[in-house]
Amino acid sequence: MVVVDPVHVGIWGTQVSTPVIKPNYAEVRVMTTVYNQSGNSEEKVKVENSIVNQKGIELAKKEVVSKIAAGSYKEIETTIGLSDPQRWDIANPVLFQVKTVVYTNDKITDTYFTPFGIRTLRFTPNNGLHLNDKRVQLKGRCQCRYQLRRLCPKEHKEFCRTRPEPSECLHLECRQ
């Protein structure tokens, strides 16, 4: 059970995206869904979004004031600019947090944290995956049993015998 104030951020109520990422700048878009389940006809709500780094240092902050009718919710959007943000990478998985604080009548009614990373992803037909404009080699193999069934029984058994990991194949000849 989750106990919340009548004016609160919904469960999974904050979505974070980074629509603009440049070498020395990033825009962080924060969409917060705030519910007003109070008996009042309308509540004046202030939503404050802060971007916090891994050390807990606040890097940027923006606030929005809005009115929400009783028994309803409102999606409140804000965009925050960050200068020289560290990018999330496989070798250095830097995560930030958006700290969302909801105020009603200058009183804190909810605080919500949402982790996120800043990175660019692009996939090209000739060069594959690029993370932060650097090519990343995908490693793996097809383990699809439907593909394996297309092999004749002898080839299938040989494939399962030479796999680096123990076989989980359900084919009768491979289980012997």
Residue 85: give its domain's CATH number.
2.60.40.10
Token pair for 92: 């250095």
Q: Other CB atoms closer than 10 Å to residue 18's CB: what's the count?
A: 19
Question: What is the Cα 29 distance to its own chain's centre?
Answer: 12
User: Does residue 157 share a domain with residue 84?
Assistant: no
Q: How many domains does the chain have?
A: 2
Q: State whether 145 and 63 are in the same domain.
A: no
Query: Could you report the per-residue pLDDT of 66-116, keeping only the tens digit for each?
Result: 999 999 999 999 999 999 999 999 999 999 999 999 999 899 999 999 999
Single residue among 118, 138, 156 that ends a domain in this structure: 118
Indicate whether 1 belongs to any domain. Answer: no
Domain that holds residue 107: 7-118
Q: How many CB atoms lie within 10 A of CB 176?
A: 6
Q: What is the pLDDT of residues 147-176, one digit of tens each?
A: 555 555 556 566 666 665 555 555 444 544
Listed in sequence order, the residues at least 6 apart from 143 whose beta carbon sits closer than 8 Å to its beta carbon are: none
Q: Is residue 2 part of a domain?
A: no
pLDDT confidence band for 50 (50 / 70 / 90): very high
